[in-house]
């Protein structure tokens, strides 16, 4: 992953630190290691962000930020990836997680009709709770590890291509300087 592309889309650390809502935790955001753009920091942030995106809890962004601070990975990427879950994607993601959890736990799917409301969720929490939580954790782990590995591989491939391009430029310059001048 090229750093220039990431820097173009990520906010400046000073902008985030100066946000009035984040003043109580601004001292935690002073640490420079949570803003680095290197292979370890970005891949770890991808893991944290994708893992937290599948957690069936409110305030996933806060959880991702706390974990990113604890593991010293890029906080902006971790929090940004949590936005994969939004009002359009949450129902299919969590329905898939529920079905996966029920299948892995060898439980019968006991919900006949779904109503997306807090009252329905509270009424059916006993039926859907364990399969949803287990399926969400499995999906979180698989997506986090997959994102981590893909990020590491893409970053490495990008570095290798840059090395090869640099080596080709050096060879071209060397050949150009070796060309004999005719009188």
pLDDT in tens, 128-158: 888 889 999 999 999 999 999 999 999 999 9
The residue with greater pLDDT, 3 or 55, is 55
Is residue 183 situated within a structural domain? no
Phi-psi region at 28: left, alpha or beta (left = phi > 0; alpha = psi -120 to 50) = alpha
CB atoms within 10 A of CB 105: 11
Q: Does the pLDDT of residue 178 top 90, yes or no?
A: no
Dihedral over alpha carbons 155, 158, 160, 162 (to 10 degrees): -140
Mean pLDDT over all residues of the chain?
82
Round to whole Å and give the CA distance between 136 and 54.
Answer: 6
SS3 content of the chain, % helix, strand, coil (to 5): 75, 0, 25
Quote the Cα angle for 142-147-149, to 5°. Answer: 95
The residue with greater pLDDT, 105 or 121, is 105
CB atoms within 10 A of CB 32: 9
Residue 144 dihedral angles phi and psi, to the nearest 5°: -65, -50
Domain that holds residue 20: 3-178
Instruction: Please tell me the total count of domains within the chain.
Output: 1
Largest CA-CA distance found in the chain, in angstroms, rounded: 93
Q: Does the pLDDT of residue 16 top 80, yes or no?
A: no
Dihedral over alpha carbons 39, 41, 45, 46 (to 10 degrees): 0
pLDDT of 95? 85
> What does the pLDDT average to over 63-71?
90
């Amino acid at each position: 992953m090229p750093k220039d592309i990431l820097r173009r889309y990520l906010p400046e650390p000073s902008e985030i630190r100066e946000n009035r809502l984040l003043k109580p935790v601004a001292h935690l955001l002073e640490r420079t290691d949570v803003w680095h753009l290197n292979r370890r920091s970005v891949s770890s942030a991808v893991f944290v962000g994708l893992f937290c995106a599948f957690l069936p809890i409110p305030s996933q962004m806060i959880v991702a930020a706390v974990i990113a601070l604890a593991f010293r990975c890029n906080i902006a990427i971790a929090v940004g990836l949590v936005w994969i879950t939004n009002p359009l994607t949450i129902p299919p993601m969590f329905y898939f997680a529920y079905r996966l959890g029920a299948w892995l736990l060898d439980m019968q799917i006991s919900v006949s009709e779904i109503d997306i409301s807090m009252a329905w969720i509270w009424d059916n929490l006993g039926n859907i709770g364990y399969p949803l939580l287990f399926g969400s954790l499995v999906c979180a782990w698989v997506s986090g590890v997959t994102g981590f590995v893909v990020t590491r591989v893409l970053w490495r491939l990008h570095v290798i291509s840059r090395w090869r391009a640099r080596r080709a430029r050096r060879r071209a310059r060397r050949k150009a300087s070796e060309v004999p001048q005719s009188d």
